[in-house]
Structure 1
């Protein structure tokens, strides 16, 4: 399967962002902005991996974002990005009880982001959607289980496969939007850190 050029461009961009953040960290390990960019880049890169590799990258992203919060506990973009990381982590966790723990953490981080920047519509929408995430996860898991049972049957399996594909597409749509939003934050952060100096007067 060939990867679309737009995905290759995104992969290249976020791999570059990851390497740049890693290099910056070596110079200044207490830069919360850089740790946020690094965590966001890892979160973006996770969507191009296998399930196991994706989970590893998400855990690494969470650790970078939590380190950024230790330095700057009220940094709203880090709080929001951490909410996204926990949401993505939860969707990849098959056990509902374990996923619910991550969903609860995500909601808490989204709430803190809203508390720090109450007019940010993206934060408000993330908080609103996070309340529905556990239900969506349960439905995706239920449909996956139903698909496995139906696969043992005969002609009904084609209908169930279509439903599973739709639910799988929905899952990836949700994860894609979450990760895209995190990518935008990383990109804006990188753009801010590379602003050219003002022209001389």
Structure 2
């Protein structure tokens, strides 16, 4: 296991659920992250889907003790560079391209690349990625698909994301080839907009107890 893989494994095993967060207002980033950390979900994926995302990563990295902030929806080398400069300690992509993988191999910050099929997982495994995101999890076959992949691809562990919720998270977490799950249900838009950090902390506590 190389250093990047070990670093990523340490992050993904901090809790059973990695919150997948969309932040519209950078001012929400610090109190939101503090609530997640207090609830036991310290590995936080901030998706690069909004103009506020990089500022949010920067603020969490600088101000939230105990947070392990990552960047999600990283699509290309430019996204990768911006996320790392903002302070992301891990990178998540929905899929992979040769350009992105080449750029990631030049960085010390680990990448969790996405795969949705056996072929994609095998291509990533050839490049040394034994930790992969399974995305979009439910649409790509759900827990039964991952169970099937476990036989021929026992060396890969997945973080399924996409359609994962409190209703099916345990189905995934019970599989030996699942290291954790990614979920957006810990930070619903209405609670974030209302600044209800206590409710988000409680959702994080419930998620932390899933395994």
TM-score strictly above 0.5: no
What is the TM-score when the length of structure 2 is the normalising length?
0.29
Q: Which protein has greater RCO, CA pairs closer than 8 Å, 6+ apart? A: 2
Greater fraction helix:
1
What is the TM-score when the length of structure 1 is the normalising length?
0.30
Greater fraction strand:
2
